[in-house]
Amino acid sequence: MVARLMRHCDAKPMSPTSPTPPVILIAAPQEHSLSSVLQDTQYAAAVQVHTGTLALAWAPDLRPDTIILDADLPDMSGIDACRLLHNDLRIGHNVPILILASDKPTPEQRVTALRAGAWDFVPYPLDADQLSLKLQTFVHAKRSIDLALADAAVDPGSGLHSRPALARRARELGALMTRKHGGLACIVFDLDPDPADPQAGRLLVQTARVSDVVGSLGPTEFAVLAPGTDQVGALKLVRRAAVALRGTVGGAAPESTLRVGYDSVANLTYSPIDPVALLARAAAAVRTGKPEPDAPWVRRFEGGLPVGAAVAVPALDKRRAIR
């Protein structure tokens, strides 16, 4: 693996004009000129891994300003890796993801990549000047969004907690439940209609308990943080919510209009986990979790990480140089 990581990652969003070098995470099967091109521009600090799985493992801690993925990774396609990274709540939808391709993408490939969350394709061999300008533009946009989101506690579309606010509340509830030896459940609802009925968020709030936190992850995705709740309690909440939401989807059966993913910990003191990671696992379970026997539209995060997602890595300081 290459290169140097030149900044100390802190929790505060950086100004778009911050002198701190942007961190670029590169996933490519072998060493090539991309890392040296980035270093030669003296614009970015680059960290390279060789698989999509490692990119998924490292990205949450590195908190890169941009991610560049080879179109053909050894363990998955660049577009599949892009989709997993884009959907990981610990990374954020606002991180620019670029696909490195030696062949010009077809219109169909471009559409697929855009739907997966990619911002653009990067042609290979590289044009250093073009890449530098592109990175400056994307990083400036990303940091501007970071600053805006840092102050946005409410999602303007739904009036619910925003993604950053959900992350803060998840950690607050996690700390409280750890002190009280209590549990925490995270449930993500994904509605089929696009756009979702504007009443959906309000109905979830009415269904949830006073102690629960309801927020928006996107136009058709909502999350509920339920303190003091185990797996059984989470499923009860899901069923109540499904009944309440039926009116927003024309009375259709839940299995045809609603997908739910969830994860829970019965006692955070004995089974500690980052509550934001628990929320990310619930979001991943919507598509990759284990279906409940009597309600296959409800999926529980099961066992390890979903297929193609991050694996455990040694407890290294990922902010230091990687050789």
Q: Taking the domains of the chain in order of start, what are their residue ranges?
A: 23-150, 163-300
- pLDDT at position 98 is 92
Query: Is the full-model pTM beyond 0.85?
Result: no
Which pLDDT tens digit goes with each residue over 265-311? 999 999 889 898 899 899 989 988 999 998 899 999 986 543 333 33
CATH 3.30.70.270 fits 163-300, yes or no: yes
Phi and psi angles of residue 270, each rounded to the nearest 5 degrees, phi first: -90, -25
Q: How far apart are CA 140 and CA 17, in angstroms?
A: 7
pLDDT greater than 50 at residue 80 = yes
Q: How far apart are CA 70 and CA 28, in angstroms?
A: 5
Helix, strand, coil content of the chain in percent (nearest 5): 40, 20, 40
Q: How far apart are CA 259 and CA 220, in angstroms?
A: 11
Q: Enter the CATH code of domain 23-150.
A: 3.40.50.2300
Taking a C-beta distance cutoff of 8 angstroms, is the pair 185, 263 a contact?
yes
Taking a C-beta distance cutoff of 8 angstroms, is the pair 189, 260 a contact?
yes
Which pLDDT tens digit goes with each residue over 25-58? 889 887 656 666 666 555 567 788 889 999 998 8
Taking a C-beta distance cutoff of 8 angstroms, is the pair 260, 286 a contact?
yes
Residues 207, 152, 86, 191, CA torsion sign:
positive
- pLDDT at position 232 is 93
pLDDT band at 2, cuts 50/70/90? very low
Query: SS3 of 299, please?
Result: strand
More confident residue, 142 or 230: 230
Hey, what's the torsion of the CAs at 277, 278, 281, 285, to 10 degrees? -170
Q: How far apart are CA 79 and CA 141, in angstroms?
A: 22
